[in-house]
Structure 1
Amino acid sequence: MPSRPQESGPREFRPTGEPVPPASLSEISDTSSIIDVRAPGEFAVDHIPGSSNVPLLDDAERREAGTIYRIEGQKSAHLWALQRLSTRLENFFLALKQQVGDSSHPVICCARGGNRSAHVVEFLIDRGIEARQLTGGYRSFRQGVIENLSTCTLDNLFVLDGYTGVGKTRLLQHIEAQHPGRIIDLEKYAGHRSSVLGDIGLKPTSQKHFESQLAAALDGLDRESPWILIEAESRKVGDRQVPDALWRVMRQAPRIELVAGLERRARMLVDEYSTDLGWQPVIERVETLRGYDKLGTAGVDRVQGLLTDGKAIEAAIYLLEHHYDPRYRHGGQQKQFLFAIENLETPVAAQELEHRLDETVAS
């Protein structure tokens, strides 16, 4: 569709239904912004990593449009949605412009590459912005994620294992900052530390968004790197399940053990789990461990009491000794490690780990 002179503002919008310029996922450049016009609830479940949300309809309006569609048909629902949008067209246009920024040829995404994104593309072109419609919408992206994850093969993967609190995640993040594309951070994608306290201070993601971020990370791995690192996890990271293909690779990959003294582990846990609300979220969550394995009611009372008294280090040590460590020992009886790294200081341990990995791969 040819460009039209930019107007002073979006006084009205009457979509013509004419074809709009398409863009496939493979055609989207790094300088193109992706704007998702689905409702906030749809976007929250999953979206293309890096995309922004400027919804045509809010969640309540989307439900209402769906009801009208079922009772009166597509045309009535379409007209109702356009009428709702007309009441806030100026704000909608400004929100779109803000997300477009300096992007060349912004790409507009909806659920299936239908009317929602087509209308917004036409709306933007009518106002001088050369937008394009994502072919197939979010659904085409989701299909690509599923295919990507089902064919995962990583011959150079190593698993970093160790007791709770030894600093595995911190170490991996340090290496990622130094060498982008060498780390797969499952806990980051899940928004969960994979323990009973794991979501404190974090925002867990949906299974679909966990998979989307994982697929993006796999696509972004450094293919020239002699090794890739991932933290040891159970099959589930919080409530998010590791895809079958990656799980098989993880189970077969060589393991490295990270070790640290008890007090250092406790201090790292305290740093990691402290929140703006103090220790109250931890006190409440520990309650779920009553009658659980070796901790028991007395142990929960002790941990809660120590936290209430501001003795967080002592509480962490008690949790490690009576909850986390026994569970790790029980689950790790059959584990074999290539070598162990002591984590006295994260940068030093990271450097040693990288050196040992380079030696291992070269031998």
Structure 2
Amino acid sequence: MSHRQPVRVGDRHAFDTLIDARSPAEFALDHIPGAINCPVLNDEERRIVGTVYVQTGAFEARRIGGAMVAANIARHLRDTLADRPENWKPLVYCWRGGMRSGSMVTWLRLVGWDAQQLAGGYKSFRRHVISQIDTLTPKLDLRVICGATGSAKTRVLHALAARGAQVLDLEDFASHKGSLLGSLPGVAQPSQKHFETLIAAVLETVDLSRPLYVEGESIRIGRLSLPLSLVARMRAAPCIEVAATPEARLAYLLRDYAYLGDDREALADKMGVLKEMQGKETVARWQQWAHEADLPHLFAELMALHYDPHYQKSQELHFKAWVQRRSVVAEDLSDQGIEAVADAVLSLDKGASPSA
């Protein structure tokens, strides 16, 4: 049975299932959204074949690898793919669109399925991601949601999305809240590549004639870097400030970061990085509060002495339109208050008077 011409990245949506034939480690690092992992070589098998290739040569590597590939494809046919109907149409890819995906396509087509191979494999998809971000980002009608620490900006984004607004939630994609205390307990950040893949997947669906709301971020979220084209677009976009009172912000932080009190030692360690900036005496006090899980005192001083003094200058430095920003005043950041902030943000684009 002859194969058709390999499929281009832009045509991948025409298929019933995307199959990533790479190893689990490669898949975990990044993959096409929606793909399932059916490795033709697992991580250890891939290592073995690579070692044989270097030490013995290509023929022996193909002989040993071929047996492993056949066994793995047989297992997928018995298990993961056993319930697929006769008219099922999968698209298979590996690293470069070579032997791993080609082997699986051969067997799937022998079964009778209309299996196709992605031209260029994951590498072509990776180029597509970078191209999409750089091409689409300058066309975005961005609205940057700003606000001092504790202004519930991410929750406002969620409320906007619930109202049908277009939203790009970068902190969700980064699995990080974007601040000194922003790492999520037990949740690792994704790879830089997968972070960018998630961004590109949203940008591909955006209606460029409508606003896209995004939280004002620095160039990094945890250890991940924002694409430079997106940073440039954000820096030039109109700003909407959630002007929340200190009392409302502290109450929100105590709810949103309550879990920090569960690991007091880790919290105290994080305070240690501020010694040079805040002084040993101040940080010692903060570490004592951390050890006692006294979050009200700790968060209040972090706001007053660390975050707030730099807020205005930071916004002016990073956002060209900061001086012309529009503001939504918020004295309440409860669930109901956040809903009201979202309504007020949307009203700004409709020319209504902002209030929350």
Alpha-carbon separation, structure 2, partners of 1:268 and 1:41? 38
| Offset of residue 333 of structure 1 | 4.7
Tell me the equivalent position of 2:200. Answer: 215
Name the SS of the counterpart of 2:143 in structure 1.
strand
Q: 2:241 aligns with which of 257, 269, 294?
A: 257
Mapped pair 1:338 → 2:325: yes
Mapped pair 1:229 → 2:209: no
Preserved CA contact (<8 Å) 1:160 1:231: yes
For residues 80-229 of structure 1, the aligned pairs below 5 Å read: 80-86=64-70, 91-97=75-81, 104-151=88-135, 152-154=137-139, 156-179=141-164, 182-201=166-185, 202-225=187-210, 227-229=211-213
Alpha-carbon separation, structure 2, partners of 1:102 and 1:284? 59
| Offset of residue 271 of structure 1 | 3.3
Tell me the equivalent position of 2:311. Answer: 328
Preserved CA contact (<8 Å) 2:241 2:328: yes
Number of equivalenced pairs: 341
User: 1:314-339 CA deviation, whole Å, 9 max, x = no partner?
Assistant: 32222222222223244235531421
- Unmatched segments (≥5 aa) in structure 1: 2-17
For residues 32-43 of structure 1, the aligned pairs below 5 Å read: 32-43=16-27
Preserved CA contact (<8 Å) 2:144 2:238: yes
- Unmatched segments (≥5 aa) in structure 2: none
Tell me the equivalent position of 1:348. Answer: 340
- TM-score with structure 1 setting the length: 0.83
Preserved CA contact (<8 Å) 2:151 2:243: yes
Name the SS of the counterpart of 1:356 in structure 2.
helix
| Offset of residue 167 of structure 1 | 0.7
Name the SS of the counterpart of 1:196 in structure 2.
coil
Preserved CA contact (<8 Å) 1:287 1:300: yes
User: 1:47-76 CA deviation, whole Å, 9 max, x = no partner?
Assistant: 112222222222222122112222333332
Mapped pair 1:358 → 2:345: no
Alpha-carbon separation, structure 2, partners of 1:92 and 1:273? 43
Alpha-carbon separation, structure 2, partners of 1:276 and 1:91? 44
| Offset of residue 256 of structure 1 | 1.3
Preserved CA contact (<8 Å) 1:341 1:353: yes
Mapped pair 1:57 → 2:44: no
Alpha-carbon separation, structure 1, partners of 2:290 and 2:127? 47
Preserved CA contact (<8 Å) 2:261 2:295: no
Alpha-carbon separation, structure 1, partners of 2:28 and 2:46? 14
| Offset of residue 89 of structure 1 | 5.4
Q: Which moved more, 1:68-77 or 1:270-279?
A: 270-279
Amino acid at match of 2:159: H
Task: Name the one with the larger helix percent.
Answer: 2
Amino acid at match of 2:129: V
276 and 248 in structure 1: CA distance in 2 versus 1, 3 angstrom threshold: closer
Alpha-carbon separation, structure 1, partners of 2:76 and 2:60? 22
Q: Which moved more, 1:110-119 or 1:91-100?
A: 91-100
Q: Which moved more, 1:185-194 or 1:333-342?
A: 333-342
Preserved CA contact (<8 Å) 1:21 1:131: no
| Offset of residue 281 of structure 1 | 6.9
| Offset of residue 82 of structure 1 | 2.6
Name the SS of the counterpart of 2:214 in structure 1.
strand
| Offset of residue 112 of structure 1 | 0.9
Preserved CA contact (<8 Å) 2:29 2:193: yes
Alpha-carbon separation, structure 1, partners of 2:101 and 2:107? 10
Alpha-carbon separation, structure 2, partners of 1:194 and 1:102? 47
Alpha-carbon separation, structure 2, partners of 1:81 and 1:44? 22
Please, what is the CA RMSD of the aligned residues?
A: 2.8
Amino acid at match of 1:29: H
| Offset of residue 243 of structure 1 | 2.0
49 and 161 in structure 1: CA distance in 2 versus 1, 3 angstrom threshold: same
| Offset of residue 30 of structure 1 | 6.5
Alpha-carbon separation, structure 2, partners of 1:265 and 1:103? 56
User: 1:195-215 CA deviation, whole Å, 9 max, x = no partner?
Assistant: 222222332122211211111
| Offset of residue 188 of structure 1 | 2.0
Name the SS of the counterpart of 1:135 in structure 2.
coil
Amino acid at match of 1:122: T
Amino acid at match of 2:323: Q
Preserved CA contact (<8 Å) 1:38 1:55: yes
